[in-house]
Amino acid sequence: MRWLDALFRPLERYADALSAKTHGVVAFVSFCTFVGVIALGFVPVTRRIQTSGYSTTDLQAATSRAAVDTILQAFEPVMESVILLSVLDYIFIVAGFFLFFSLHSLSLKTLTVHDRLVLIPKIGMGLTIISRLLDSLENLWVILIYTNPDDYATILIGLVNSSETLKWIVVGVEYPMLGIAIALALLTRFTSLFDGRSESPQ
């Protein structure tokens, strides 16, 4: 178990470095940024890009050079919006990272007394690192494609597809793990409060 302790120690240090109140503030600001980027950024910019007949989702899902070239040609009139969407995506990634890390840190602080349950937020933090890294790489491969439409390496198409597939596999576990961590932390908090009241002198 020493290797496991060594693996999770940096995550514990991050959680311990800030107070619960500070983690709460970081989570709130990150959540507002997270939602704001979606509502005020992704939605209108994506609609603008879709006037070309395609979306960046189509580009990420394309599996052949011919399909990618067709989409890139259609993107030419809205290329500024495509670039803006990539910038927004990185802001979204950073906001999501701090949101999930702060929520897991709060859960970790509450579950510290439980040797096994505390592994859940720690694993969740690890999954967040992996998913955000894969999302960043996917975005990078896409940028390398559309910034060099005439001479991009064909291997980038496979890298986009692989990064996207792996990302969604990890996200499929990451989000439920966050929900479980929060639920256990709330249950532990309320249970301890209830027990404290029950044990108080009548």
Tell me if 21 is assigned to some domain: yes
pLDDT for residue 4? 66
Tell me if 67 is assigned to some domain: yes
Tell me if 78 is assigned to some domain: yes
Is residue 59 a contact partner of residue 71, using CB atoms and an 8 Å limit? yes
**Domain around 99:** 2-185
- What are 152-196's pLDDT values in tens digits? 999 999 999 999 999 999 999 999 999 999 999 988 888 765 454
Tell me if 126 is assigned to some domain: yes
Map residue 118 onto helix, strand or coil. coil
Tell me if 119 is assigned to some domain: yes
Q: Is the pLDDT of residue 126 over 60?
A: yes
The DSSP code for 151 is T
Tell me if 199 is assigned to some domain: no
pLDDT for residue 159? 97
Tell me if 195 is assigned to some domain: no
CA pair distance 68, 66, nearest whole angstrom: 5
Tell me if 191 is assigned to some domain: no
Q: Find the mean pLDDT for residues 106-115.
A: 86
CA pair distance 80, 124, nearest whole angstrom: 35
CA pair distance 33, 55, nearest whole angstrom: 23
Total number of domains constituting the chain? 1
- pTM equals 0.87
Is residue 59 a contact partner of residue 142, using CB atoms and an 8 Å limit? yes
